[in-house]
């Protein structure tokens, strides 16, 4: 039996609803309920995978999914070898370094050597600081990172900021930016060649907004 073409979208979080809207734009109809991880669509050859945004780069890199929608932040964190097909117009945010507003640290140039940083992005954080000659202790968390400094767990955090409201509410201020992120459509590199016509057709349905194709190489 021929394997179906599979597209992965986030099943939770801030990218889920806009990704579901994107399906409508592409003429993909499906029925999604909370505990469904794989779903049929109106196209008998197309299956939808509902996965965690953080895991989608892995599924796409290793070919378990042909296409995926996820944030650039997690593609970089996973150092995923995938094709970046299209930057999407949602999920805009920045990955920033933030400290308590009262901290004596005012820039990334005056960090104490024994600094502790809490983050959901340990790989990106390590690469960023090590490229600046700093070797912080990185504490890997699974969310609510903004509370870590006020509880004494860490001196700083690296986390996403969009409106800035969460940082502000937790008494934190930005002292540096690591990267800009939006949602992206990514493809498995083999599938991109084998299924080029199908992928082009889906991209065409996204109102001709595709911004060209380029390979995401490993990031250092």
Asked if 13 is part of the footprint of ligand PRP (rule: CB under 6 A), the reply reads yes
Please report how close the Cβ of residue 74 comes to ligand PRP at its closest, in angstroms.
10
**Which of residues 14, 81, 116, 198 is near ligand PRP by CB under 6 A?**
14
The stretch near ligand PRP (CB under 6 A) out of 32-40, 99-107, 162-170, 177-185 is 162-170
Please report how close the Cβ of residue 93 comes to ligand PRP at its closest, in angstroms.
7
Q: Which is nearer to ligand PRP, 18 or 206 (CB)?
A: 18
On the CB side of 9, CA atoms within 13 Å amount to 19
**Which of residues 2, 102, 151, 165 is near ligand PRP by CB under 6 A?**
165
Distances (CA, A) of 194 to 5, 57, 86, 157: 11, 19, 18, 42
Residues 6+ apart with CB under 8 A from 153: 116, 118, 139
The stretch near ligand PRP (CB under 6 A) out of 41-49, 121-129, 164-172, 210-218 is 164-172
Asked if 152 is part of the footprint of ligand PRP (rule: CB under 6 A), the reply reads no
Asked if 160 is part of the footprint of ligand PRP (rule: CB under 6 A), the reply reads yes
Phi, psi of 18 (to 5 degrees): -65, -30
Asked if 171 is part of the footprint of ligand PRP (rule: CB under 6 A), the reply reads no
The stretch near ligand PRP (CB under 6 A) out of 17-25, 157-165, 179-187, 199-207 is 157-165
Size of the site for ligand PRP (CB under 6 A): 11
Q: Max Cα separation, the chain? A: 63
Q: Which is nearer to ligand PRP, 71 or 192 (CB)?
A: 71
Q: Which is nearer to ligand PRP, 84 or 146 (CB)?
A: 146
Q: What is the binding site for ligand PRP (CB under 6 A)?
A: 13-14, 143, 159-166
């Amino acid at each position: 039996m021929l394997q179906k073409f599979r597209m992965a979208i986030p099943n939770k979080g801030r990218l889920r609803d806009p990704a579901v809207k994107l399906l409508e734009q592409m003429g993909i109809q499906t029925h999604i309920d909370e505990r469904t991880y794989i779903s049929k669509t109106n196209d008998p050859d197309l299956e939808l995978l509902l996965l965690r945004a953080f895991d989608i780069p892995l599924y796409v890199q290793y070919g378990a999914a042909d296409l995926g929608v996820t944030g650039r932040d997690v593609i970089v964190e996973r150092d995923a070898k995938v094709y970046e097909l299209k930057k999407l117009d949602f999920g805009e945010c920045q990955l920033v370094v933030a400290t308590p507003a009262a901290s004596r640290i005012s820039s990334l140039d005056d960090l104490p050597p024994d600094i502790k940083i809490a983050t959901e992005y340990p790989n990106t954080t390590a690469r960023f600081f090590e490229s600046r000659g700093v070797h912080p202790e990185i504490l890997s968390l699974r969310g609510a990172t903004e509370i870590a400094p006020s509880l004494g767990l860490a001196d700083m955090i690296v986390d996403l900021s969009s409106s800035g409201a969460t940082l502000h509410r937790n008494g934190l201020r930005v002292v540096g930016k690591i990267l800009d992120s939006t949602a992206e459509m990514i493809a498995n590199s083999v599938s991109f060649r084998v299924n080029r016509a199908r992928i082009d057709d889906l991209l065409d349905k996204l109102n001709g907004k595709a911004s060209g194709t380029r390979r995401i190489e490993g990031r250092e």
